[in-house]
Amino acid sequence: MPIIQWKEIFSVNISKIDSQHKKIIDLINELHDKMKEGKGKEKESLSQILNELAVYTANHFKTEEELFYKYKYPNTEAHILEHKKLVDKVLQIKADFESGKVVLTLDVMDFLKDWLSNHISGTDKAYTAFLNAKGVN
């Protein structure tokens, strides 16, 4: 069973961003599945997924941020700060895992799941009406 599932409540009513959120959910679930299979210490397999998660998430944030700048979203700086914190955290998790300092645990998975759920349903939902009013959907 996936650790996180897409729900309509996560929709920000912008198809490109919803698709990207779904992909991030898929990557978190893939990471979780590998851990459930007992591969929480296997560097190669998990490193590849962590790298893809970090790169894809950074690209997703770039998509959002380009929209913020284009349409002059008033909460751009605060939102970007949240993005930076997550990218830094994922890169730290990846570096610690690759150096052998940590193994991927359910605590890490819960952090990713909770952060994504809270970010989408809170911070991201805050820009929905603003961007939709600008014709972005």
CATH of the domain at 83: 1.20.120.50
Angle between helices 43-71 and 125-133 (to 10 degrees): 40
Spatial distance between the Cα atoms of 137 and 132, rounded to a whole number of angstroms: 6
Q: Which domain, by its residues, includes 33?
A: 12-133
Instruction: Give the SS3 label for residue 4.
Output: coil
pLDDT at 97 over 60: yes
Residue 7 lies in a domain: no
Query: Quick one: tokens of 30?
Result: 């893939």
pTM, two decimals, is: 0.89
Q: In the prediction, which pLDDT does 132 show? A: 96
Mean local confidence (pLDDT), 95-109: 77
Q: In the prediction, which pLDDT does 12 show? A: 95
pLDDT at 86 over 90: no
Residue 16 lies in a domain: yes
